[in-house]
Chains A and B, each alone.
Chain A
Amino acid sequence: DAGVIQSPRHEVTEMGQEVTLRCKPISGHDYLFWYRQTMMRGLELLIYFNNNVPIDDSGMPEDRFSAKMPNASFSTLKIQPSEPRDSAVYFCASSPAQGRGSPLHFGNGTRLTVT
């Protein structure tokens, strides 16, 4: 199993540009999570999906952030327009159908730098 795959690994962009982060969960996993990690705030849950449906997006910081999961094997997190304070490492994670009772599997993250 290839694990959770995220792309790109690194993204450097200028303030105001649109940024799209991509995630491919582990095949057969029904839950997909987007997390953000910063030195100041640690790991924060942004949004999670169950069977491609967004369940809880209360962690999405503001309307500039949006996430989609068009099918079971792909999800995107979009920031438009990006700001320097969005600089962080963004992680995608997935877990099997037993969701709450199963461990999360994380991707290697996308390090975003907004200048």
Chain B
Amino acid sequence: KQEVTQIPAALSVPEGENLVLNCSFTDSAIYNLQWFRQDPGKGLTSLLLIQSSQREQTSGRLNASLDKSSGRSTLYIAASQPGDSATYLCAVRLNAGNMLTFGGGTRLMVKP
């Protein structure tokens, strides 16, 4: 059974810092990996999707990398801003089926 773990569970940084969020998964036979952002009381917003054949994806200040062999992905946020404060979740989709397995999320707070 695929298990997805995110460390740390919570992170507080001052504005302007570069930071890295980690995601690990137990079954490397994934189809793709997706990073989401969730604001309090809201649904999830897709940030980046990395196919299994890709190593990284970039969108603005966000960069996500994928290392299938080691079962890891990282989300890099450059020059963090208070508006980046949210919970960030990663989710993996297996080769079989259409099911996404989510990590527990990292709750990020960026202080002005």
Instruction: Write the residues of chain A forming the contact surface with B, with a CB cutoff of 8 angstroms.
Output: 4, 31, 33, 42-43, 45, 48, 50, 55-56, 91, 93, 99-109
Contacts and interface: CB of A to CB of B under 8 A. Distances in A.
A14 to B, nearest CB: 24
Contact of B102 (A4, A43, A56): A43
B99 A42 contact: no
Interface residues of B, number: 23
Interface of B: 31-32, 34, 36, 41-46, 49, 51, 89, 91, 93, 97-100, 102-105
Q: Determine chain B's interface SS by DSSP, over half rule.
A: strand
B44 A104 contact: yes
Contact of A106 (B32, B44, B104): B44
Contact of B43 (A31, A45, A48, A107): A107
Contacts of B100: 33, 45, 104
A-B CB proximity, top 5 nearest: A106-B43, A103-B46, A43-B102, A106-B44, A108-B43
